[in-house]
Amino acid sequence: MYDFPQDLHDAQIALHQAQSEYTRLPWSVEPMAGWEADKQLHSGYRSSKPDSPGYTGEQHRQVAAFRARLLELGTLVITHPYWQALSGTDVFTARMQLKYADDRPDASGADPVDEAA
């Protein structure tokens, strides 16, 4: 386990939140009909998208702000001085732990990462 500085931990959480907000925008800027792809040969998975209403005027204005915030937070996390204290695979391992540092088991005690698998 790594002892991440609070400002790095906070920046990572803010980055997750900003990414979550950004992905709530419609998948298409312009109104567009949804689609469903052919079933994948071995998995049976069928990718699809629902109809997109397109962006509202407010969402058009928000996109630039979302992208600027994502760039700012991503840069802050990636270039944080904490990473200089680590070397080699420690940086990779620590970075992966930071990404999941805020994942906590829910009230049932199940690990949210295991449930997604």
In tens, the pLDDT along 13-58 reads 999 999 999 999 999 999 999 999 999 889 989 999 999 999 999 9
pLDDT of residue 104: 58
Q: What is the pLDDT of residue 108?
A: 44
* pLDDT number for residue 105: 55
- Short-list 96, 113, 105, 75, CA closest to 4: 96
111 has a pLDDT exceeding 70? no
The mean pLDDT value for 97-117 works out to 60
Q: 86 phi and psi, to 5 degrees?
A: -105, 165
Please report the DSSP string for 36-78 in residue order.
Answer: EPPPPTTT----EE--B----HHHHHHHHHHHHHHHHHHHHHH
Q: Is the pLDDT of residue 117 over 50?
A: no
When the pLDDT of each residue in the chain is averaged and rounded to a whole number, the result is 87
What's residue 102's pLDDT?
Answer: 80
Residue 56's pLDDT is 95
The model carries a pTM of 0.75
